[in-house]
Amino acid sequence: MTGTTGFLDSIELFHFLRIHPLFAIGTMLVLGYVFAKLSELMRLPEVTGFILAGLLMGSGGLAILGSSASEDLGVITEVALGLIALTIGGELRLTKLRRIMRSVAWITVGQFSLPFLFVAIALFFMDLSLPFALLLGVVATTTSPAAVVAVVQSIRARGTIVDSLYGTVALGDAISIAAFGIVLSLVPSLPGAVESFTGLFWAAIADIGVSLILGTFFGFLIYAFTRAQNNTGEVMILTLGFLFLSTTTAILLGFSPLLVNMAAGAALANMSPRSTRVFRTLEPFTPPVYALFFVIAGTKLNPSLLFAADTLLFGLLFVTARWIGKYTGAYLGARMSGCSAEIRDYLGLGLFSQAGIALGLMVLLHTAPQLHGLENLPVGVVQTGIHIVLFSVFVNEITGPPIAKMAIRRALELEE
C-alpha cells in the first residue's frame, strides 16, 4: 500500500509541476540554454536551439508542458513581441533612413508582392479555393521580426545590410497586417467589390495611421520620463512600464501591438541621440525573454500533425513559392533602387523566418465571422490552412535563422 501511495504521490507531483508556470519557465530556460549551446557547436543560431527545446517540451515531444501552463505563459509572448518591436523601431532613425529609404521602399514592395502572387497562384492551381489562396498568400508575405532581431544581436551585426533588413521587416509586416484585414473583409464578396475594396483600403490606412500616432505618444512618454534619469534601473522600470501599457492599450483598442511599439521605438530613437541609452538598459532583460519566446513557439509545433500527406504537399508548395518570392522580390527591388551587391544578393535570404505574425493571422482566420457559412469555402479548409502555415513556421524557424546568419555575415564581409 505504501508503495502504491508513493507512486500516486509522484504522479500528482508531476502533474502539479506540469501545470505550474514557474516550473515551465525554469525548464524552458534550462533546456533552452542547453539546446542553444548544442546549436552553437553545430554553427547554428541559438534561436534554432530554443525552438528545438520547445519542440521537445511540447505535445509533439515529451509533453512536459501542460496546456494550462502554456496558456498562462501567453503574456511572455506579448512582452517579447513588444520588446522586439521596440528594438526594431529603435533602429529606424531618420539619419539612417534618409540613406536607405528609397531602397527599403522598393525592396518591401518586391518582397511583399511576389510571395503573395506566387503562393496564391500556386495554391489556387492546386484546387484550393480562391478566397483562401489569397488569404494564405498574404500570410506568406510576413517575416518573423523576432528571428531577425535575435540573429542580428547574436552576431552583434551593424551596417547597411542590418539597417535595410530592419526597415524592410518593419514596413513589410505593417503592410502584411493591413493587407490581411482588407482581403479577409473582401472574402464574402469575391470576386469584384471595387467600392468595398476602396473603403477597406482607406480604413486600413487609417488603422495604421492611428497605430503610428498611438506609438509616437508612448515613445514620447518614455522619452519624457527617462530623459532626466541617470539611474539605469529606474530607466528600465519606466521603459518596461510604458511598453506594457502601450501593448495592452493597442490590444484593447484593436490595433496591432507590433505597429504601435515599432512606432514607439522609432519616435523615441528620433527624439534625442541620448535615447540609445534607453535601449541599452533593456539589453540585460532581453535574453531570457527572447529565449522563453522561442521555446514557447517551439512547443506549439507538432510534427505528427504537420507531415500528413495533404499538409506535406501544400506545405512544401507554400514554403517553396514563398522562398522564391521573398528572394526574387527583394533582389528585384534592390536592383530597381540601385542597391549595392551585398544588399541585392543577400538581403532576401534574411527574410525567410516566419512565426508569430503568421500564426497570429491564422488565429484571426480561425475565428473570423466573415468565413462562416460561405458556399465557396469548403468545410475543413481553414484547418488545412492552419496546418499549412504551421508546417511553414516549422520549416522556416528551423532553417530561416541559419540562412539569415550566413547571409548577414557574407553581406558584412562585402561591405568591408
Q: Model confidence over 214-271: pLDDT tens digits?
A: 999 999 999 988 888 888 888 888 989 999 999 888 888 877 787 788 889 888 888 8
Q: How much of the chain exceeds pLDDT 90, in percent?
A: 8
pLDDT-derived band at 375 (thresholds 50, 70, 90) equals very low
- Rounded Cα distance between 142 and 162, Å, is 18
pLDDT average, residue stretch 61-82: 69
Domain 74-415 has CATH 3.10.129.10: no
pLDDT-derived band at 166 (thresholds 50, 70, 90) equals confident
pLDDT-derived band at 187 (thresholds 50, 70, 90) equals low
Segment among 19-28, 53-62, 64-73 with least mean pLDDT: 64-73
Tell me how crowded residue 71 is: count the other CB atoms within 10 A of its CB.
Answer: 10
pLDDT average, residue stretch 349-374: 65
More confident residue, 137 or 14: 137
Contact between residue 160 and residue 408 where contact means Cβ atoms under 8 Å apart = no
For residue 173, what pLDDT is reported? 78
Segment among 24-33, 177-186, 224-233 with least mean pLDDT: 177-186
For residue 323, what pLDDT is reported? 93
Q: Is the pLDDT of residue 84 over 70?
A: yes
pLDDT-derived band at 117 (thresholds 50, 70, 90) equals very high
For residue 194, what pLDDT is reported? 45
For residue 181, what pLDDT is reported? 66
pLDDT-derived band at 325 (thresholds 50, 70, 90) equals very high
Q: What is the mean pLDDT of the chain?
A: 77
- Rounded Cα distance between 25 and 77, Å, is 12
More confident residue, 214 or 156: 214
Contacts of 268 (CB under 8 A, 6+ apart): 86, 89, 90, 219, 220, 222, 223, 275, 278
Q: Is the pLDDT of residue 13 over 70?
A: no
Contacts of 194 (CB under 8 A, 6+ apart): none
